[in-house]
A and B are shown apart, each in its own frame.
Chain A
Amino acid sequence: MNAARLARRAFMLLGLPLILLAFWWVASASSTSPFWPPLQTILETFPKTWTWDRIVSDVLPSLARLGIGYALAVVVGIVAGTAIGLMPRLRALSEPVLEFFRAVPPPVLVPIIALFAGYTGWLGKIVTIALGCLWPILLNTVEGVRGLEPVLNDTARSYHLSRWRRLVFVVLPGASPRIFTGARQALSIGVILMVISELFGANRGLGAAIVQFQRSFAIPQMWTGIILLGLIGVLLAALFKVVENRMLAWYVGQRQIERGE
């Protein structure tokens, strides 16, 4: 019974990817095009390409930059978003500016940031990732703080909770579903920017490696890089889901009951 359910869940999760892989395998099996190597070749190249040395020299630094940039965006976004959400004057003042920055696609910023922070070092890349991730988190935090249930606010006021208790026990938990929405959007933007920030004159990193493979016509290796990137994305999304389910357990439970599930 339990095993059957587990098998069904595994099928739901892996079914479509396996079908697509099988399709790719069959469709590319007899390919002679250098740009479109058989999947079998790509998979055989994978372990030879992504050795431990390469992971240490290229993958881990990329992930570290993503981690630092993303963490910066989370901290700054929540702090600034909470302040703007709580203060109507500050909000009125900053709204046009925020709308402007939100409308600018983050990759456009890469050349500009590179001018100030350099092409090759970590700083420019981290700033790129952090800036791109910041807006969804910040704007969602503002909305989450503003959308707090008014009765909860009255309750907090009538029990005269201090400023910081209101912040920690009422405002931030109340805004957390929206904050997580923003953080989830920011994560996918962050992965994109992690790669893009390395396309301009970097010689180390996952994105830089993919570009170098492409330029040196190491096509199967290039494909393995793209597969690795996809796997990292899936892994990060799963990790995010685990954290979200833990921290928003109350929200998920409440919604299930409201919907009568």
Chain B
Amino acid sequence: MSIIQTVRMRSAAAGAPAAGAGAGDDAVALDLRGVQKTYDTPGRPQVEAIRHLDFSIRRGELVCVVGPSGAGKTTLLRSIAGLLDLTAGEVVLDGRVVSGPPEGMAVVFQEYGRSLFPWMTVRQNIELPLKEKGIAKAERRAKIDRALEEVGLTEAGEQHPWQLSGGMQQRVAIARAIAFEPSVLLMDEPFAAVDAQTRAELEDLVRKLWKDLGVTVLFVTHDIDEAVYLGERVIVLSNRPTVLMEDVRVDLPAERDQLTTRSDPHFGELRGHVYELIQQAKRGVRPDAPAASSPQEA
């Protein structure tokens, strides 16, 4: 039975690129087509992390990906970032298939403390990718100033990252990402390690940056509230091997703030719905395997 399933998935994966849904479509920023990832290290048991994922993100959207722990969220993000080779399928950014880290993408990692170069000042950290882009010095300075202002760190430019608090360090990582002016900004559980108050501030910062800069954001998190509060859409993943549980549209008003949005009854409904999906995912309910769960129960 699992063989039949795999074959079905394979054919679906093979069929997707041929359809070419978003190839010439300018409105699509990021397109995942039949993405599949199996870790196959010699001498170790094979691990199927992602079975099949198909979804796309329109230009200027803010989409959150949420799933139970161990749902392969980080695997997915690293695949999209071009840091991991896919087993099958493809990731298409701005109409081009991703193979290796793509040009128009910036990543904010979870481990903010370890993603910043400790031997450089805050300004130098932001400047390095800009140098690589070949931007002239005066323009680099202007971009750094603007990015620091956006994240509220104008005073900290000459300090080293380790002299700053955790929340401020993550702001530096965000400033570095937005100064790079990516067409898609990937964020991998960026606020998982900061305290609740800082977290709320940083969530509002992401919303603000998204609106100010019009950047496309893919935000991976394990926090259901955060996903619903931030996203225009919430993509809910199943447990391992990962498939899509549901693509939930978040039809909350564009202006959101921590107090009113979170006490909005509709926020509660959406949150409840996503929560229920995650609970199902944890119990092993999978949209692709209705037959797989019933014989076990019988």
Contact = CB atoms under 8 A, between A and B. Distances in A.
Interface of A: 149, 151-152, 154-155, 157-162, 165, 169-170, 173-174, 176, 250-251, 253-254, 257-258
A152 B114 contact: yes
B122 interface: no
23 contacts: A151-B109, A151-B114, A154-B78, A154-B107, A155-B109, A155-B117, A157-B101, A158-B82, A158-B106, A159-B101, A159-B132, A160-B101, A160-B132, A161-B132, A169-B120, A170-B117, A250-B118, A250-B119, A250-B160, A250-B162, A251-B119, A253-B160, A253-B162
B109 A159 contact: no
**Residue among A154, A176, A251, A253 having the largest count of chain B Cβ atoms under 10 Å:** A154
**Residue among A158, A160, A165, A173 having the largest count of chain B Cβ atoms under 10 Å:** A158
A257 to B, nearest CB: 5
B11 interface: no
B83 A154 contact: yes
Contact of B128 (A149, A161, A257): A161
Contacts, number: 67
Given A151-B109, A158-B83, A253-B162, A165 B114 contact: no
Given A158-B105, A250-B160, A253-B160, A152 B115 contact: yes
Interface string B64-107: 00000000000000100111000000000000000011010111
B279 interface: no
Contacts of A170: 117
Given A155-B107, A158-B83, 12 more contacts: A154-B83, A155-B109, A155-B117, A157-B83, A158-B82, A158-B107, A159-B128, A160-B101, A173-B117, A174-B119, A251-B119, A254-B160
B131 interface: yes
B81 A152 contact: no
Nearest to A247: B119
A155 B129 CA distance: 10
Contacts of A159: 101, 106, 128-129, 132, 180
Given A160-B132, A169-B128, A155 B115 contact: yes
A151 B101 contact: no
Interface of B: 78, 81-83, 100-101, 103, 105-107, 109, 111, 114-115, 117-120, 128-129, 131-132, 160, 162-163, 180
Nearest to A162: B132
B17 to A, nearest CB: 24
Nearest to A157: B101
A165 B132 contact: yes
Contacts of A250: 118-119, 160, 162
B123 to A, nearest CB: 14
B70 to A, nearest CB: 20
Contacts of A152: 114-115, 117
Nearest to B130: A159
A158 B84 CA distance: 11
Contacts of B129: 159, 161
Contacts of B81: 154, 158
Contacts of A169: 117, 120, 128
Nearest to A256: B162
A253 B118 CA distance: 10
Contacts of B180: 159
A163 B205 CA distance: 33
Nearest to A173: B119
Nearest to A172: B119
Contacts of A155: 107, 109, 115, 117
Given A160-B132, A169-B128, A253-B163, A151 B115 contact: yes
Contacts of A162: 132
A257 B109 contact: no
Shortest beta-carbon contacts, A-B, top 10: A159-B129, A173-B119, A254-B162, A151-B114, A250-B119, A158-B107, A158-B101, A151-B115, A155-B115, A151-B111
Contacts of A161: 128-129, 132
A174 B116 CA distance: 11
B76 to A, nearest CB: 15
B164 to A, nearest CB: 10
Nearest to B112: A151
A250 B116 CA distance: 13
A8 B131 CA distance: 48
Contacts of B82: 158
A170 B129 CA distance: 12
Contacts of B162: 250, 253-254, 257-258
Contacts of A174: 119
Contacts of B163: 253, 257
Contacts of B105: 158
A151 B193 CA distance: 15
Nearest to B83: A154
A255 to B, nearest CB: 9
A173 B128 CA distance: 14
A254 B106 CA distance: 26
